Amino acid sequence: MGGSWLSLICGFAGLYYDKGIRMTNFLPVAISELVFQIKYLNEVIQVILTQEEIYCELQLFTKLIFEQNGKTVYIKRR
């Protein structure tokens, strides 16, 4: 089960750690949407990956910042 999750998240969402979380949208055309949660620095982040964008929902009072550059998203500590 863990291997399947890693394949989806690291493959389709391009998730990796680089002084924060970095994701790049590689969602194939056959899949319209991928929704998942990750926990980073004790905060839960809801991620919605669609053909057009990556949407990240952070907690209300968060210590994280969200930056987007085209199809790449960065989430890091303030």
CATH class given for the domain over 2-77: mainly beta
Query: What is the C-alpha to C-alpha distance for residues 66 and 77, in angstroms, rounded to an integer?
Result: 9
State the alpha helices, DSSP H only, in 1-78.
2-6
Per-residue pLDDT of the chain (78 residues), as tens digits, is 888 888 889 999 999 998 899 999 999 999 999 999 999 999 999 999 999 889 999 988 889 998 988 889 999 998
Domain ranges of the chain: 2-77
Say what the pTM is: 0.86
Question: What is the predicted pLDDT for the residue at 50?
Answer: 94
